[in-house]
Structure 1
Amino acid sequence: MALTDEAIDKIKGMITSGELGPGDRLPKEADLAERLGLSRNSLREAVKALSIIRVLDVRQGDGTYVTSLEPPLLLDALSFVVDFHRDDTVLQFLEVRRILEPAATALAAQRMPEEGIVKLQATLDGLGSSPSIEALVSNDLDFHRQIAAGAGNTVLCSLIDGLSGPTTRARIWRGLTQQGAVTKTREQHQSIVDAIVAREPELARSWATVHVAGVEDWLRRAL
């Protein structure tokens, strides 16, 4: 095991064991290095790596702290990795969306508060009768983000949000080239909202599956 990896593993052990918790300050560098049997250079590199993935927060002049460790914060690194996707992997992202989004939509049908449902319908109604493709895609991203949030599971919401970026270009491409795509998208969104309003999780799941699978199927044929 590389020395930096060993240092990372030891700091991780302190956190997972409960010795360090969210918001706790790490001991001074010299003291922590001696305690863990590490060189200060290895410890410094480990702290740098853990700060990049939002496990640690280095505050200049103050010290190094464990972050909140909340899922949205930790999964923020996923968006960074996802940004490096190649165009030929977009279908794989759509496959993952087809697995996760129907599950989130079913949970939203059970858990989304009434005010959240009202906001979701207002988002759909606010699109206008003849939206631009850019407006449609922006509305689509917001629509799905609200549903994911309405599922009441921060891990699931963060995963879906992190995976939405790579499919944006495909959504724009579909809107520009497939006849009736805009109308179909609006109709399917309304069916999803209606299922959530009716508190019908399996119906909501089905409509979400149809919606995401439609984009995936179109892209497979287009490619």
Structure 2
Amino acid sequence: MAVTDVAIEKLKSMIASGELQPGQRLPREADLAADLGLSRSSLREAVRALSVLRILDVRQGDGTYVSSLSAESLVDTLTFIADFHRDTTVLELLEVRRILEPAASAKAARLADADDIEGLREILGRTTVDSTVEDLVSADIEFHRAIARAARNSVLASLIDSMSSRTLRARLWRGMTEEGALARTLAEHRAIFEAISAHDPGLADAQATVHIAGVESWLRTMLE
């Protein structure tokens, strides 16, 4: 189990046992890390991930608090995250995306008109490295959806949309736990966009393959 997951499991146990109550401030980082047998950096990563999910509330200059949700809701959310790591179906979905998305990107490079390209440009402009993980993943889904529409094949667009939405958890979790994932995703989107706008099917195919394969490779490592 990844170090971040270990930290999350330990925080989950503290919430489930009532040791940490909704609205309660967490102990000092150094003390909590020592109590849990974790490094401070591992604990910090877990806190960052849980704050994105609004399970923890990090208040600058004040400390970190358990969200004011019910304890049951918090435990359910944490269980949902743990279940993701046992879901091998999402890996199969990513394998299918790796087949479909490069083909759609190549087709879009051949068929995209000025409106399609401008639409992709607008989606890319919605997010930066400072955007939230949720905003980036939302734009990610819309970006791939727009590429599929530009490929001018409604069946292909429907399949890609279905595959994309069903891998949402994996993409959220990667954005929260993998260092540099947000910047890498933005750069890969830009590369795909540039290939499509240059009407270069071969390059669009290659850039889309790199993009999807990166998520797939990360997930294989997580599941192992």
Q: What TM-score results when the alignment is normalised by the length of structure 2?
A: 0.60
**Residue 123 (str. 1) matches residue 123 (str. 2):** yes
Q: 1:28-86 deviations in whole A, cap 9, x for unaligned? A: xxxxxxxxxxxxxxxxxxxxxxxxxxxxxxxxxxxxxxxxxxxxxxxxxxxxxxxxxx8
Structure 2 residue runs without a partner (length 5+): 1-85
2:162 is aligned to 162
Flag the 1:129–1:216 CA change in 2: closer, same or farther, 3 A: closer
**Residue 176 (str. 1) matches residue 176 (str. 2):** yes
Provide the aligned length of Structure 1 versus Structure 2.
Answer: 138
Offset, 1:202? 0.5
**Which segments of structure 1 move beyond 6 Å, counting only runs of 4 or more?**
none
2:144 is aligned to 144
Q: 1:76-134 deviations in whole A, cap 9, x for unaligned? A: xxxxxxxxxx8221100000000000000000000011111011011101214511000
CA distance in 2: counterparts of 1:193 and 1:222, whole angstroms:
29
Query: Residue 87 of structure 1 aligns to a residue in which SS?
Result: coil
Structure 1 residue runs without a partner (length 5+): 1-85
**Residue 202 (str. 1) matches residue 202 (str. 2):** yes
CA distance in 1: counterparts of 2:210 and 2:128, whole angstroms:
23
2:133 is aligned to 133
2:102 is aligned to 102
1:92 is aligned to 92
1:222 is aligned to 222
Identity %: 52
Q: Which amino acid aligns with 1:181?
A: A
Q: 1:153-175 deviations in whole A, cap 9, x for unaligned? A: 11100111111122100000100
Q: Which amino acid aligns with 2:187?
A: E
CA distance in 2: counterparts of 1:213 and 1:207, whole angstroms:
10
Q: What TM-score results when the alignment is normalised by the length of structure 1?
A: 0.60
Q: 1:132-185 deviations in whole A, cap 9, x for unaligned? A: 000010000000000000000111001111111221000001000110000000
CA distance in 2: counterparts of 1:128 and 1:167, whole angstroms:
22
1:12-51 alignment runs, 5 A limit = none
Flag the 1:129–1:185 CA change in 2: closer, same or farther, 3 A: closer
CA distance in 2: counterparts of 1:128 and 1:206, whole angstroms:
23
8 A contact 2:123–2:143 mirrored in 1: yes
Root mean square deviation of aligned Cα:
1.1
CA distance in 2: counterparts of 1:208 and 1:129, whole angstroms:
20
